Chains A and B, each alone.
Chain A
Amino acid sequence: MVAIDPKADGVAQTSEYPEWFRNKRRDRLLIVSRWVPISLIGLPVLVLLAIVIYPTIWMFFHAFHNTTLMSLTRDRYQFVWFDNFENVFTNERFLNSVVNLVQYLCFGAVLEVILGTAIALMLFSVVKWNWMRTVLLICMVVPLMLPPAMTGLIWLLMLTPHNGIINEILIVTGLTTEKVEWFSTSLSLWSITFADIWQWTSLPLLIVYAGRASLPQSIYEAARVDGASRWKVLSRITLPMLKEVIAIAFIIRFMDAYKYVDKIYVMTSGGPAESSELPVYIAYQRGIRDFQVGEAAGYAIVIFAVAAVLVTLFLKYLKKVLKAQAIA
């Protein structure tokens, strides 16, 4: 029996809803057994729990104690409240590394995304032949294939001040007159950054390229028919549509950038005089080299927490922006 006015076109008022509707269960009724999703996600989650929860708990525990490697093996450590966390925010060496990190991220991750986007779009608009695009793309993506540690070593070799090939090229082409001290206190962080840029620009490049390739061709044809200038096409069509892709490329880069210490380890060991240290590297050194487990745990937790918060905020902001765009 139809209980609702069949002539009505508008939405019925809530008070007119029949009883079965008001009382209906909120949860979505599945058409497969309840156990299917649970068992599907259960296994991976269990695995992750085992290999992640345990370290997390371990870390939190020891961040509140003054554990060293010695005391660890002897199970003797004291509860020290927030000492380790206080240390994080007061330790000069650590704070310096944070400054370094900001510099590294700005000129590393951010520049990589910008550069990668620019190159990807250039590849699309300027190179007309498909085969050429593929060849160039492969050449540009190849740096991703090297282990970061090896990249560090290669760049170390190339940038060696007294007989490195980079200095040789710079002098021979007349760009500098003396051999550049790539690993001095002022330049060592930059050397690492250059190696980083070389290696990782191709990741945003690949991602943005893929994104650009999936944009519908019809929009560009319509723009051409409308007579839009190339600049307008870029700023009004391409970039807005790629906003999401670029943002994701940035997040991926960001998530990896601040935790990769391979290059520092291999190229400069943080030196000279701690000038090229990054926060994660310090945590690593203090924890594994200097055996200050508690202190290192403190660093690690703060680093992870800050990064997680930043990424979450960024994702929320991104969602808002995209929702507005979708409605518009």
Chain B
Amino acid sequence: MARLEIEGLCKGWDFPVIDRMDLTVEEGEFFVVVGPSGIGKTTLLRLIAGLESPNEGRIILGGNDISRLPPYKRPVAMTFESYALYPHLSVFENIASPLRARRLPKAEIEQRVKDVARLLKIDQLLTRRPAEVSGGQKQRTALGRTLVAEPEVFLLDEPISHLDAKIRHELRAQFHTLEALRRVANVYVTHDYAEALSLGDRIGVMGRGGLVQIGSAHEVFEKPQTLFVAEHLGQPSINVLDCELTARDGVLHARHRESLLTVPVAQAHVQRLNGGNADRVSYGIRPQHIAVVADGEVVRDGLHVIDSTVTLFEPLGTYAILITETAGATITALSSPEHRYTQGESIRLGIDTAEAFFFDAVNGKNLVL
């Protein structure tokens, strides 16, 4: 049973990077860690791999405590963000490296390397050096090196961040289908939330000191526990307004403190909010929940319509980003790319108030969960 358990893991240098983290990754699970650059995702992987020693805490793999083991004794395989391929060895030798370390017989090594190479479609490149192959092929070589090692946990550090979109797509598909990965625990690190949403059985959003929220892709996106989580998932990122809750005409509104924008609070949220005593909140609404309302269109219930001026229109293929000035506040919305908006054009935006989030202005917690 190759379950990975992390208990009370602590690591810090000038300041704490990982603070008493607990995590369990089940066998066969694909756990994705998302978070901004520099937050400590790679540090987490390195601690599991043994390339860093924790200040406190334990790491247990398949029931065995590996916290004190040096990296070369841990049944762990890792792909580095920079691939870390041995430049003076051929692709074949790079992949064969873990097997050579175990001093396996030559024939067996050859067989296993060729099998993995064929699986990853790099079997034509076995005699080449890393400098002579493309980025995607380098990545597959690095992946091959980990597959061949048959570890009890795979650690993947931003494996496809530096590749172009098409190759990323291909490799994402590969991660979905590779059997070997499904047999043991996998920890996958990325800063790209779309990748995380696509690949992860469970997603951990990493903030200062550790994992802020763990859940399914759907959960972390639709039910963020904190403002931080909401901000880091979603492209373009969520609109956040510093608001005051006031009553107007008997209805609870969120009034933006820095502009004239006022949005009514949906009924479902009113009960939860009145229970607390926050009158100052961070109001969050995702661009996908704001749409352009055409003249004469029938407005459905719950949609708050408001006048707005276009500041920037950015068509991006299948959708377009609209940056607008609305009652003095900058609001980002999504629209279809078919209609081209011009700068300064007056439009009307419909805000789906039921999809709004309310976060505590001080500690960022989601008040409405």
* A11, A18, A20, A31: the one within 8 Å of B53 (CB): A31
Q: Tell whether A24 is near chain B: CB-to-CB under 8 Å.
A: yes
Contact of A5 with B363 in the complex, beta carbons under 8 Å: yes
The 0/1 profile, CB within 8 Å of A marked 1, for residues 347-365 of chain B is: 0000000000001000110
Nearest residue (CB) in A for B226 is A6
Contact of B226 with A18 in the complex, beta carbons under 8 Å: no
Q: Tell whether B62 is near chain A: CB-to-CB under 8 Å.
A: no
Chain B contact-residue range equals: 20 to 34
Q: Tell whether A139 is near chain B: CB-to-CB under 8 Å.
A: no
Question: Measured between alpha carbons, how far is A32 from B10 in the docked complex, in Å?
Answer: 20
Which residues of A have CB within 8 Å of B208? 2, 4-6, 8, 12
CB distance from A61 to the nearest CB of B (A): 46
Contact of A18 with B16 in the complex, beta carbons under 8 Å: yes
Contact A17 B16, CB 8 Å, known A2-B212, A31-B52: yes
Nearest residue (CB) in B for A7 is B364
B193-213, CB < 8 A from A: 207-212
The 0/1 profile, CB within 8 Å of A marked 1, for residues 45-58 of chain B is: 00000111101100
Q: Tell whether B38 is near chain A: CB-to-CB under 8 Å.
A: no
Q: Tell whether B86 is near chain A: CB-to-CB under 8 Å.
A: no
Contact A21 B71, CB 8 Å, known A3-B20, A6-B207: no
Contact A7 B363, CB 8 Å, known A12-B208, A20-B56: yes
Contact of B52 with A12 in the complex, beta carbons under 8 Å: no
Contact of B52 with A3 in the complex, beta carbons under 8 Å: no
Question: Measured between alpha carbons, how far is A18 from B56 in the docked complex, in Å?
Answer: 12
CB distance from B83 to the nearest CB of A (A): 21
* B20, B70, B226: the one within 8 Å of A20 (CB): B20
Contact of A21 with B16 in the complex, beta carbons under 8 Å: yes
Which residues of B have CB within 8 Å of A4? 16, 19, 208-209
Q: Tell whether A327 is near chain B: CB-to-CB under 8 Å.
A: no
Q: Tell whether B236 is near chain A: CB-to-CB under 8 Å.
A: no
Question: Measured between alpha carbons, how far is A31 from B46 in the docked complex, in Å?
Answer: 11
Q: Tell whether A41 is near chain B: CB-to-CB under 8 Å.
A: no
CB distance from A50 to the nearest CB of B (A): 33
Contact of A1 with B364 in the complex, beta carbons under 8 Å: no
Question: Measured between alpha carbons, how far is A167 from B363 in the docked complex, in Å?
Answer: 89
Contact A31 B71, CB 8 Å, known A2-B209, A6-B207, A24-B12: yes
Which residues of B have CB within 8 Å of A3? 19-20, 209
The total of interchain contacts (Cβ-Cβ below 8 angstroms) comes to: 73
Contact of B10 with A21 in the complex, beta carbons under 8 Å: yes
Total interface residues on A, using CB and 8 Å?
A: 21
Question: Measured between alpha carbons, how far is A7 from B284 in the docked complex, in Å?
Answer: 14
Which residues of A have CB within 8 Å of B212? 2, 6
Question: Measured between alpha carbons, how far is A33 from B22 in the docked complex, in Å?
Answer: 27
Nearest residue (CB) in A for B227 is A7
CB distance from A18 to the nearest CB of B (A): 6
CB distance from B220 to the nearest CB of A (A): 13
CB distance from A37 to the nearest CB of B (A): 14
The 0/1 profile, CB within 8 Å of A marked 1, for residues 13-44 of chain B is: 00110011110000000000000000000000
Contact of A31 with B22 in the complex, beta carbons under 8 Å: no
Nearest residue (CB) in B for A32 is B70
Nearest residue (CB) in B for A30 is B53
Contact of A2 with B207 in the complex, beta carbons under 8 Å: yes
Question: Measured between alpha carbons, how far is A247 from B26 in the docked complex, in Å?
Answer: 58
Which residues of A have CB within 8 Å of B19? 2-4, 18, 21
Nearest residue (CB) in B for A1 is B20
Contact of A6 with B16 in the complex, beta carbons under 8 Å: no
Contact of B16 with A11 in the complex, beta carbons under 8 Å: no
Which residues of A have CB within 8 Å of B22? 1
Q: Tell whether A29 is near chain B: CB-to-CB under 8 Å.
A: yes
Nearest residue (CB) in A for B70 is A31
Which residues of B have CB within 8 Å of A8? 208
Nearest residue (CB) in A for B365 is A7
Question: Measured between alpha carbons, how far is A244 from B364 in the docked complex, in Å?
Answer: 50
CB distance from A119 to the nearest CB of B (A): 35
CB distance from A58 to the nearest CB of B (A): 44
Question: Measured between alpha carbons, how far is A7 from B50 in the docked complex, in Å?
Answer: 30
A-B contact pairs, 6 of them (CB 8 A): A6-B364, A12-B16, A12-B208, A21-B12, A21-B19, A32-B70
> Which 7 residue pairs of A and B lie closest in terms of their CB atoms, listed nearest first?
A7-B364, A29-B53, A6-B207, A4-B209, A6-B212, A24-B55, A2-B210
